[in-house]
Structure 1
Amino acid sequence: MSSEKTLSIDVISDVMCPWCFVGQKNLKQALAQVEDVDVSIHWRPYQLDPTLPPEGKDRQTYLEEKFGSRDRAQALHDRIKEAGRAADIDFKFERIATSPNTIDAHRVIRWAASAGEGIQDRLVERLFEMYFLEGENIGEHPVLIKAARESGMDSAVVETLLPTEADREEVSREVATAQQMGVTGVPCFLLEGKYALMGAQPPEALADAIRKVAEAKATGALDQPQA
């Protein structure tokens, strides 16, 4: 698409975060409302719980440890399900057996950025679907290889790289950078590296922010010193 208005959005998220799935769907809807802006999306890593073991942890045990009781966890899930319905997501929390460590998922997402146009977006959405709709353990290498293949990546390359330490340190460094920037929760939408919108913003709010920042960029207002 050719347009005079362009915008870069860094989405800081974690693929085990249900609000990030809502945010991804809302962003998709927002982009459909701003077709006059050429938007490039870059998915950046965040880990809600980097202390999870590589094999993950039993979901019910994890929820009880995190929220104190199954009832509190269920109340949170009910609230997320309601938000999900508005974003056309039918969350299937009951299918999730394992809370995964997402470091390897973020490595694959990082590799997808250079795998071809649109592939990173497709991979991120596919990982959300596999975890929240199908109950797959997105910390397991066979699941990640399958997601990569279905998203258009060269799965043989992913299969070769995953058992190595490739980009593990880089992903951890990006997570630390986000925390140093003040990101304490996700999703976080960073427009042109200057303006942050926190949380699963409604499509209309995202679309409005995209229009305003893109217009400011097109007119040179973003480069002007702040009063």
Structure 2
Amino acid sequence: MPHKAGKKGILMTVPSLTIDIVSDVMCPWCYIGKRRLEAALLDVSQEMDVEVRWRPYQLDPTLPKEGKDRQQYLEDKFGGAEGADQAYAAVRAAGADEQIPFAFDKIPVSANTLDAHRVIRWAGSEGLAAQDKMVETLFKAYFEEGKNIGDDAVLVEAAQQVGLEPAVIERLLSGDADRDTVNAEIDQARQMGVTGVPCFIIDMKYALVGAQPAEALADALRKVVIEKAKQEAEASETPEA
């Protein structure tokens, strides 16, 4: 269990948690959820160590590799331009609260994100910090810069920004490396009952669905820590058979 320096430099043992975030990088609420989680983790940083892992999900796996005209896609999904505007009003407001400069008008196509999830997986092989940076880079590329994150050239460029070798990523994207693995993870999430994202799975036991406020996420983490401590205390008190 990790330690942190307390008052007067005394080392204190702090609890550890894991958060698996089931997410799709074409989901604006997932970007908002990332910002809110970051605020929550800052709030509890002196109380616990939290390891964050990103897990794949596809809101629409039927999209072609080249994507689909975004305006048409949204109108089809929400029953016209007016319905699409209404649906995104709450997203814009929440994004403004989190200082996310959503630029939906710049996005040319709704992207198929399977290959983006493969790149996120490969970034994870360099460590969780690299994986998190990859997710952040793709969110920015899509929602702020209007890039097609289903396009290989865009993915290679994003991977290079994170420190991955572009030639290697280009070669991997040209084949089927980890395609089945990513699809299997997505299927597993659905089998676990995940039907909406973001979904925050704490210690593989407790799930919070949706872009929860930072306060709610921090409160949930604290409750899990208390529950774990209680369970560990009860286990230590159980007499051996």
User: Which interval holds the TM-score relative to the shorter structure?
Assistant: over 0.9
The equivalent residue for 1:115 is: 126
The equivalent residue for 2:178 is: 167
2:19 alignment partner, SS class: strand
Specify whether residues 217 and 152 from structure 1 end up closer, same or farther in structure 2 by C-alpha distance, changes over 3 A only.
Answer: farther
Instruction: Please say if 1:153 is aligned against 2:164.
Output: yes
Are the aligned partners of 1:119 and 1:153 in contact in 2 as well (CA < 8 Å)?
no
Which structure has the larger Rg over C-alpha atoms? 2
The equivalent residue for 1:21 is: 31
The equivalent residue for 2:227 is: 216
Q: Alignment partner for residue 18 of structure 2, among 8, 15, 37?
A: 8
Distance 2:50 2:166 in 1: 27
Percent identical across equivalent pairs? 54
Q: Which amino acid aligns with 2:211?
A: A
Distance 1:223 1:84 in 2: 43
**TM-score for the superposition, normalised by structure 2:** 0.89
Q: Alignment partner for residue 106 of structure 2, among 87, 95, 102?
A: 95
Are the aligned partners of 1:5 and 1:215 in contact in 2 as well (CA < 8 Å)?
no
Displacement of 1:219 in angstroms is 4.3
The equivalent residue for 1:58 is: 69
Are the aligned partners of 1:84 and 1:90 in contact in 2 as well (CA < 8 Å)?
yes
Specify whether residues 50 and 219 from structure 1 end up closer, same or farther in structure 2 by C-alpha distance, changes over 3 A only.
Answer: same
**More relative contact order, 1 or 2 (CA 8 Å, 6+ apart):** 1
Displacement of 1:7 in angstroms is 0.4
Q: Alignment partner for residue 124 of structure 1, among 131, 135, 147?
A: 135
The equivalent residue for 2:197 is: 186
Distance 1:33 1:214 in 2: 14
1:215 alignment partner, SS class: helix
Displacement of 1:222 in angstroms is 10
Distance 2:216 2:168 in 1: 38
Are the aligned partners of 2:18 and 2:203 in contact in 1 as well (CA < 8 Å)?
yes
Distance 1:16 1:124 in 2: 11
1:118 alignment partner, SS class: helix
Over 3 Å off, 4+ runs: 218-224
Specify whether residues 72 and 116 from structure 1 end up closer, same or farther in structure 2 by C-alpha distance, changes over 3 A only.
Answer: same
Displacement of 1:223 in angstroms is 8.8
Q: Which amino acid aligns with 2:17?
A: L
Are the aligned partners of 1:216 and 1:222 in contact in 2 as well (CA < 8 Å)?
no
Instruction: Please say if 1:77 is aligned against 2:88.
Output: yes
**TM-score for the superposition, normalised by structure 1:** 0.94
Unaligned runs of 5+ in 2: 4-12, 236-241
Distance 2:128 2:203 in 1: 19
Q: Which amino acid aligns with 1:6?
A: S
